[in-house]
């Protein structure tokens, strides 16, 4: 038990250090940018007609001309105390903006992550079990096709089919237009989330299917499966008793590592569906030079990715007893 705690602790410390580096890298990147936030948000014409004091005031607001190192430590210090600063575009605390957007995105991503994980795993096992069959060829072809398709184009095509032609699903946003917040039902929200969630799931399936399939083929050719066959075990029993556990390990790792992919996909898909989530906020922040918000989103999303990796590392031990013993010592 104690060894287990040390194992967890070591990974957690490493994760925190990595997060700190992520924030430093992100901060460096935004501070070396040649983009002038005043030009991007106020515009050349408006700037020309302003007095010097007004421009100075705006410069102070957007943080132009302060030394970056001092700014970083001020920002990081506040961040550790839980104050992420104030979003310059939304004029609200970053924590609050991220909270609202994350709430919208999170269940979208959670649905897509679960669906694509389960479906991908199932398809991969099926295809691997019957390597070379028509079913395998269809599943493999589908996965390769989806892996080569940009998420945002798939979103556009689905939008065209279901929202423009068939008119069965709404064309965008997370709630109906022109309805008060109190009047929005859960059903409305679900209707608006269907297309984004389905698109995100479809794109997430490909990777895990292909990997599970490869692993499954490898396992079905192994000696212990051959021996099980010789003992007269049925295919179902072989899958249940021998294959699943072995194929689950890489699948779980991959699925937790795919959080970063799902996140990237959601940025694109939210843009297409005008879905007011974290991804859309990141794009808005980037285009509008809202540095505090962009930094906040980067750190939060990196925390999710590292958290996913940490969980994957811990789950290894649960699924595979060999790693449990070895991992604690390592």
Nearest by Cα to 141 from 151, 153, 127, 155: 127
Shortest distance in whole angstroms from residue 26 CB to another protein: 6
Shortest distance in whole angstroms from residue 262 CB to another protein: 9
Question: Is residue 249 a contact partner of residue 316, using CB atoms and an 8 Å limit?
Answer: yes
Q: Which is nearer to another protein, 122 or 156 (CB)?
A: 156
Say whether 172 sits in a helix, a strand or coil: coil
Question: Is residue 323 a contact partner of residue 314, using CB atoms and an 8 Å limit?
Answer: no
Q: How many beta carbons lie within 10 A of that of residue 52, not counting itself?
A: 7
Q: Which is nearer to another protein, 31 or 235 (CB)?
A: 31
Structure tokens at 321: 């007893």
**DSSP tag of 160:** I
DSSP state string for 64-118: TTS-HHHHHHHHHHHHHTT---B-TTT-SBHHHHHHHHHHHHHHHHHHHHHHHHH
Q: Which is nearer to another protein, 56 or 147 (CB)?
A: 147
Q: Which is nearer to another protein, 238 or 278 (CB)?
A: 278
Shortest distance in whole angstroms from residue 129 CB to another protein: 22
204 Cβ neighbours under 8 A, 6+ residues apart: 112, 113, 115, 116, 117, 120, 258, 261, 262, 265
Shortest distance in whole angstroms from residue 36 CB to another protein: 10
Q: Which is nearer to another protein, 104 or 298 (CB)?
A: 298
Shortest distance in whole angstroms from residue 249 CB to another protein: 19
Shortest distance in whole angstroms from residue 22 CB to another protein: 6
Question: Is residue 196 a contact partner of residue 269, using CB atoms and an 8 Å limit?
Answer: yes
Q: Which residues bind another protein (CB under 8 A)?
A: 18-19, 21-22, 25-26, 28-30, 32-35, 144-145, 147-153, 156-157, 159-160, 164, 171, 260-261, 263-264, 267-268, 271-272, 279, 282-283, 286-287, 294, 297-298, 301-302, 305-306, 309
Structure tokens at 241: 């008793």
Shortest distance in whole angstroms from residue 75 CB to another protein: 15
Q: Which is nearer to another protein, 275 or 306 (CB)?
A: 306
Q: Which is nearer to another protein, 135 or 303 (CB)?
A: 303
Q: Which is nearer to another protein, 246 or 271 (CB)?
A: 271
Shortest distance in whole angstroms from residue 285 CB to another protein: 9
Shortest distance in whole angstroms from residue 203 CB to another protein: 11
**b/e for 122-145, b at 16 or more Cβ within 10 A?**
ebbbbbbbbbeeeebeebbebbee
Q: Which residues pair with 93 in a beta bridge?
A: 86
Nearest by Cα to 304 from 274, 264, 250, 246: 264
Q: Which is nearer to another protein, 161 or 190 (CB)?
A: 161
């Amino acid at each position: 038990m104690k060894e287990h705690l040390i194992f967890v602790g070591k990974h957690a410390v490493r994760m925190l250090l990595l997060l700190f580096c992520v924030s430093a890298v992100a901060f460096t990147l935004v501070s070396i940018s040649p983009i002038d936030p005043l030009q991007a948000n106020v515009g050349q014409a408006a700037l020309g007609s302003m007095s010097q004091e007004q421009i100075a005031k705006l410069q102070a607001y957007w943080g132009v001309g302060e030394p970056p190192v001092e700014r970083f430590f001020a920002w990081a210090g506040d961040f550790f105390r839980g104050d992420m600063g104030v979003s310059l575009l939304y004029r609200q605390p970053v924590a609050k903006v991220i909270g609202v957007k994350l709430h919208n995105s999170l269940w979208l991503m959670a649905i897509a992550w679960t669906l694509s994980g389960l479906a991908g795993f199932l398809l991969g096992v099926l295809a691997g079990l019957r390597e070379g069959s028509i079913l395998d060829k269809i599943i493999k072809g589908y996965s390769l096709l989806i892996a080569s398709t940009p998420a945002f184009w798939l979103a556009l095509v689905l939008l065209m089919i279901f929202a423009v032609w068939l008119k069965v699903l709404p064309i965008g946003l997370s709630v109906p237009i022109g309805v008060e917040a109190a009047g929005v039902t859960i059903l409305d929200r679900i209707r608006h989330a269907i297309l984004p969630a389905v698109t995100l799931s479809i794109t997430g399936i490909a990777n895990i299917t292909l990997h599970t399939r490869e692993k499954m083929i490898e396992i079905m050719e192994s000696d212990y499966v051959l021996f099980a066959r010789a003992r007269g075990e049925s295919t179902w029993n072989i899958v249940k008793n021998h294959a699943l556990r072995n194929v689950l390990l890489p699948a779980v790792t991959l699925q937790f590592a795919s959080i970063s992919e799902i996140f990237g996909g959601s940025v694109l898909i939210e843009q297409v569906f005008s879905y007011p989530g974290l991804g859309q906020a990141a794009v808005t922040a980037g285009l509008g030079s809202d540095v505090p918000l962009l930094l906040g989103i980067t750190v939060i999303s990196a925390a999710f990715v590292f958290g996913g990796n940490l969980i994957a590392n811990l789950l290894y031990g649960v699924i595979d007893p060999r790693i449990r013993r070895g991992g604690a010592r390592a």
